[in-house]
Structure 1
Amino acid sequence: MLTLPFIVLTLLATAAVPSQASEKLSELSKDDSQWVMPAKNYASTRYSGLDQITTENVDELEVAWTYSTGLVAGHEAAPIVVGETMYVVTPWPNKLIALDITDGSKRWVYEPKPARAAQGVACCDVVNRGAAYAEGKIFFNTLDNHTVAVDAETGKEIWKTKLGEINRGETMTMAPLVVKDKVLVGNSGGEMGVRGWLTALDTTTGEIAWRAYSTGPDEDVLIGEGFDPFYAKDQGTDLGVETWPAGRWQTGGGTVWGWISYDPELDLIYHGTGNPGPWNHTQRPGDNKWTVSLFARDPDTGMAKWAYQIDAHDLFDYDGINESVLLDLEIDGKPRKVMVRPERNGHMYVMDRATGEVLSAEEYGFITVTKGINLDTGKPIEVEAKVPEVGKVTREICPAPPGAKDWQPSAWSEKTRLLYVPHQNLCMDMAIAETSYIAGTPFVGAEVEMYAGPGGQRGRFMAWDPETGEEVWNIKERFPVWSGTVVTAGNVVFYGTMDRWFKAVDASTGELLWKHRVGSGIIGQPVTYKGPDGRQYVAIFAGVGGWSGAVVSGQLDPSVPFGALGFVGAMQDLPQFTEPGGTLYVFALPEETTNGSPANEIGSAPQDHANTGLAGRVVEN
Structure 2
Amino acid sequence: MQKWPGLAILAAVMSFATAARANRDVIAHVRDPANWAVQSGDYNGARYSTLDQINKDNVGDLKVAWTFSTGVLRGHEGGPLVIGDTMYLITPFPNVVMALDLARDQKIIWKYQLKQDPSVIAVMCCDSVNRGVQYAEGKILVHTADTSLIALDAKTGMELWKVTDDDPKKGATATGAPLVVKDKVIVGVSGGEFGVRGYITAYDLNSGYKLWRAYSMGPDEDVLIDPEKTLVLGKPAGKDSSLKTWNGDQWKIGGGPVWGYMAYDPELNLIYYGTGNPSTWNPVQRAGPDHKPIDQKWAMTMFARDVDTGVARWAYQMTPFDQWDYDGINEPILADLEINGYDRKTVSHFDRNGFAYTWDRATGELLVADKFDPDTNWATSIVMDKNDPNYGRPIVAKKYAPFETGMDETTKGICPSSLGSKNQQPASFSRLTGLFYVPVTRMCMDYEPFKVSYAIGQPFVGATLTMYPAPSSQDATGGLIAWDGAKGKTVWSKPERFSVWSGVLTTAGGIAFYGTLEGYLKAVDQRDGKELFKFKTPSGIVGNPMTYMHAGKQYVAVFSGVGGWAGIGLAAGLTNPDDGSGAVGGFARLADYTSLGGSLTVFALP
- The amino acid of 2:181's aligned partner reads V
Q: Contact 1:44/1:261 (CA < 8 Å) preserved in 2?
A: yes
Q: In structure 1, what is the equivalent of residue 485 of structure 2?
A: 466
| 1:525 Cα deviation after fit | 0.7
Q: Contact 1:94/1:114 (CA < 8 Å) preserved in 2?
A: no
Residue from 262, 269, 272 that aligns with 1:270: 272
Q: In structure 1, what is the equivalent of residue 193 of structure 2?
A: 191
Alignment of 1:67-466 (within 5 A): 67-102=68-103, 103-224=105-226, 227-231=229-233, 235-285=237-287, 286-365=294-373, 366-375=375-384, 376=386, 377-388=391-402, 389-453=406-470, 454-455=472-473, 456-466=475-485
Please give the per-residue CA displacement for 1:185-222, whole angstroms capped at 9, x wherever unaligned: 00001111111000000000011110000011000001
Alignment of 1:519-534 (within 5 A): 519-531=538-550, 533-534=551-552
- Closer, same or farther: CA 154–546 of 1 in aligned 2, 3 Å: same
Distance 2:399 2:469 in 1: 21
| 1:500 Cα deviation after fit | 1.2
Q: In structure 2, what is the equivalent of residue 516 of structure 1?
A: 535
- The amino acid of 2:186's aligned partner reads L
Distance 1:337 1:56 in 2: 33
| 1:564 Cα deviation after fit | 6.9
- Closer, same or farther: CA 506–17 of 1 in aligned 2, 3 Å: closer
| 1:468 Cα deviation after fit | 2.1
The alignment status of 1:58 with 2:59, answered yes or no, reads yes
Q: Contact 2:21/2:267 (CA < 8 Å) preserved in 1?
A: no
| 1:509 Cα deviation after fit | 1.3
Distance 1:158 1:24 in 2: 18
Q: In structure 1, what is the equivalent of residue 494 of structure 2?
A: 475
Q: Contact 1:273/1:319 (CA < 8 Å) preserved in 2?
A: yes
Percent identity, aligned pairs only, is 47
Q: Contact 2:47/2:505 (CA < 8 Å) preserved in 1?
A: yes
| 1:360 Cα deviation after fit | 1.0
Q: Contact 2:21/2:266 (CA < 8 Å) preserved in 1?
A: no
- Closer, same or farther: CA 449–562 of 1 in aligned 2, 3 Å: closer
| 1:297 Cα deviation after fit | 0.6
Please give the per-residue CA displacement for 1:68-123, whole angstroms capped at 9, x wherever unaligned: 11211110021111111000010001011101235322111011122222122211
Please give the per-residue CA displacement for 1:243-288, whole angstroms capped at 9, x wherever unaligned: 1111111111000111111111111111110000100001112211
Figure out how many residues of one structure are paired with residues of the other and give that number: 573
Q: In structure 2, what is the equivalent of residue 569 of structure 1?
A: 585
Please give the per-residue CA displacement for 1:47-69, whole angstroms capped at 9, x wherever unaligned: 00000001111111111111111
- The amino acid of 2:572's aligned partner reads G
Gap runs ≥5 in structure 2: 1-15, 288-293
Q: Contact 2:347/2:360 (CA < 8 Å) preserved in 1?
A: yes
Please give the per-residue CA displacement for 1:535-564, whole angstroms capped at 9, x wherever unaligned: 0000100000111111101178x9x99617
Distance 2:336 2:18 in 1: 28
4+ long deviations beyond 4 Å = 15-18
**SS of residue paired to 2:242:** helix
Q: Contact 2:25/2:137 (CA < 8 Å) preserved in 1?
A: no
**SS of residue paired to 2:243:** helix
Q: Contact 2:227/2:236 (CA < 8 Å) preserved in 1?
A: no
- The amino acid of 2:36's aligned partner reads W
CA RMSD in angstroms comes to 1.8
Distance 2:442 2:559 in 1: 23
Q: In structure 2, what is the equivalent of residue 544 of structure 1?
A: 562
Q: Contact 1:126/1:555 (CA < 8 Å) preserved in 2?
A: no
Gap runs ≥5 in structure 1: 1-14, 591-621
Distance 1:164 1:395 in 2: 37
TM-score, normalised with respect to structure 1: 0.90
| 1:402 Cα deviation after fit | 2.1
- Closer, same or farther: CA 91–153 of 1 in aligned 2, 3 Å: same
| 1:28 Cα deviation after fit | 2.0
Q: Contact 1:543/1:580 (CA < 8 Å) preserved in 2?
A: yes
Distance 1:391 1:485 in 2: 39
